Amino acid sequence: MKKATEVVPSARRLIKSLRDLGYDLQAAIADLVDNSIAAEATFVKVETHWDGDDSWLCITDDGVGMTHGKLREAMRFGTRRDYLDDDLGRFGLGLKAASLSQCSRLTVASRTTPNGRLHIAEWDLEHVEDSDRWEVLHPSARDVPEAARPLSGRRGTVVLWRRLDRVFRYRIPNGKRAQADFDGLASEVALHLAMVFHRFLSDDAGRDLPLQISVNGELVAPWDPFAQTEHATVAMPRQRLRFVHDSTKHVVDVYPFILPTEAAFSSSAAHRRAAGPQLWNRQQGFYIYRNARMIQSGGWNRLRTADEHMKLARIRVELPPNSDELFELNIAKTQIRVPPALRPSLAAVASGVARAAQEAYRRPIGPTAEWRSSRPPEQLDPRGGVLRDLVRMVTSAVEDLVATEVVDRGVVARIRRRMRELEARFAADLDHEILKGRVRRSAPAGHATPVKGAAIEAIEDAAIGS
C-alpha cells in the first residue's frame, strides 16, 4: 500500500476561486430556492434592503429547517451527502458558491421547530483571508437580527447576504445611481424566478406540496413559456427521442409548441407577457428542464440559428433522470450540452417545428386579420426588413462590445436587456407604420382614414406588444 499524505488546499486562495463558477445574481438566488424546495418549503420570501455599504439580501423559507449538525454539513464545500435522482441539488456547492459569488459574508440561520433552538453559521471571507483556514463562524442572534428575526416563533431557514461586493460595484456605494441599480434588481429576480420555477408555482411539477415565492412582498406569478392557457397555442405531439451513449440507452421526451401570432392572443397584455424576459426573438428554441426545474430558456444549442420568422417556436425538453454528467450540467444549473448521439434527432424535431412556426408567422389569424397581409410587414415594404436587419446588427455589435469592456456581469445583463427592448420597440414601431400605411392606401378615394378606428387600435395594441 502506497503511503498517502493529506494536502489541504489554501482556504484563502481556493475560496476566492470558488466565487467565479458562473453565477449571476438571478441564478444564485434560484440555486437557493432549489434548497428551499428540497427542504419541503411551501413559501420562499426574497427581500432586499438598501443601506449603502450595509445593504443586504435575505431569502427565507418555511421548510423543515436544520439541526446544528446538518447546518454545519450544509456549510461544507462539497457536502457529504447522497443526492437522489429527483433532487434539485447535485454538487454540494450551491449554497456556498452561489451566495459567495454575490457577497463576502454569508449567514445561515435555521430551526426545526417553532420554539426550538436557533442555529446560526457564517462564512466571512475577510476572516478566511486573515486566517487562511476553513473556519465557519457562529454569531449570536443579537449579532445578526436580520437572519434571526424572520424565524421568530416559526421553523425554517434564512440565508442572509451582506457585503454585497459582487451585486454592484460603484465608487460611491451610497450614491443615488447605486441605489437605483440595487432597487431595480428585485424585478429582474422576480422575472427569473417566475420562469425557472413556473411549474412549481403552478402545481405542475409533480410535487405534493404547493409553492409560493415573493420578492419584496409581491407574489411571483408563474411565467409559462408555452402560453398553454391561450386558445390559439398549438401543442404538437410529444416526441420520444431514443439514443445510445457509452452503450447505455437513454430517452428524452420533447414537447413542441407553436405560440399564437400577436393578433391571435387573447389580449395585447397576454402577448407582451408571453414575450418573456428576453423578448420574442431570443426566447425561441429549446426550454430544457431537469426535475421540472428550468435549466435553459430558449436558444437552439447550435442546431439552428435564431430567426424572426421562427420566434413562435418553443420546445420543451425533459432531461432523463440521473443524466447530469451526460448533458454536462454546470454547477450554476444554467447550461447543458446536447450529447452528440442526440443532436441529429433533436435537430430533426427543431426543423419540423421551425417550419410550422414559419407558416404560423406568415398566416396570422384573429380579429385584425382583415387588415393584414399573409406576408410579414417587411414583404409589404422591403425597406422594413433592411432597417430591421441593420438595427439588429448594431444591437449585436453593442452587446459584444459591452460584454468585452464591462467587468460587472450584472451591468452587462441589464445593458443587454435594455438594448433588446429598444430593438423590439423599433421593430414594433416599424411594423406598425408599414401596416398603417397599407390601411391608409386601401381607404376609398375621397374618404379620410379614421385616426383611431377599432382595427387600427387593434393593430397598435399588437405592435406595442411585439
Residue 282 and residue 238 share a domain: yes
- Report if residue 5 sits inside a domain: no
Decide: helix, strand or coil at residue 58. Answer: strand
CB 282 within 8 A of CB 273: no
155 and 212 assigned to the same domain: yes
Q: In what order do the strands lie in the sheet with 105-111?
A: 119-124, 105-111, 156-162, 56-61, 43-49, 212-215, 218-219
Residue 284 near residue 354 (C-beta atoms within 8 A):
no
Residues 327 and 341 in one domain: yes
H runs (alpha helix) in 6-67: 11-17, 25-38
Domain of residue 89: give its range.
11-219
Last-in-domain residue among 316, 340, 366: 366
63 within a domain of the structure (yes/no): yes
Residues 325 and 257 in one domain: yes
Residue 4 placed within a domain: no
Q: For 247-272, what is each residue's pLDDT tens digit?
A: 889 999 999 999 999 888 989 899 99
> Which of 219, 243, 267 is where one domain is finished?
219
Strand partners, 255: 316
Same domain, 64 and 141: yes
Q: Are residues 174 and 74 in the same domain?
A: yes
Q: In the prediction, which pLDDT does 381 show?
A: 58
Which of 209, 193, 224, 214 minimizes the C-alpha distance to 31? 193
Low-confidence ranges of the chain (pLDDT < 50): 366-375, 378, 439-466
Residues 80 and 150 in one domain: yes
Residues 6+ apart with CB under 8 A from 325: none
**Residue at 2 is within a domain:** no
Provide the total of helices (H) and of strands (E) in the chain, helices listed first.
15, 13
Q: pLDDT tens digits for 138-173?
A: 999 999 999 999 999 999 999 999 998 888 766 566
At 91 the pLDDT is 52
The Cβ of residue 422 has, within 10 Å, a number of other Cβ atoms equal to: 14
Q: Give 133-142 contacts, CB < 8 A, sequence gap 24+.
A: 133/11, 134/8, 134/11, 134/77, 135/11, 136/72, 136/75, 139/107, 141/109
Residue 1 lies in a domain: no
- In a domain, residue 440? The reply is yes
Q: Which residues pair with 49 in a beta bridge?
A: 56
Residues 65 and 184 reside in one and the same domain: yes
Identify whether residues 45 and 25 lie together within a single domain. Answer: yes
Within this chain, do residues 195 and 60 fall inside the same structural domain, yes or no?
yes
User: In terms of domains, do 282 and 343 share one?
Assistant: yes
Q: How many structural domains comprise the chain?
A: 3
Question: Does residue 176 sit in the same domain as residue 242?
Answer: no
Q: Which residue is listed with cell 500500500?
A: 1
Tell me the CATH number at 170.
3.30.565
pTM equals 0.74
Instruction: Write down which residue in 182, 204, 219 finishes a domain.
Output: 219
Flag whether 328 is in a domain: yes
Which run of H or of E encompasses 125? helix 125-131
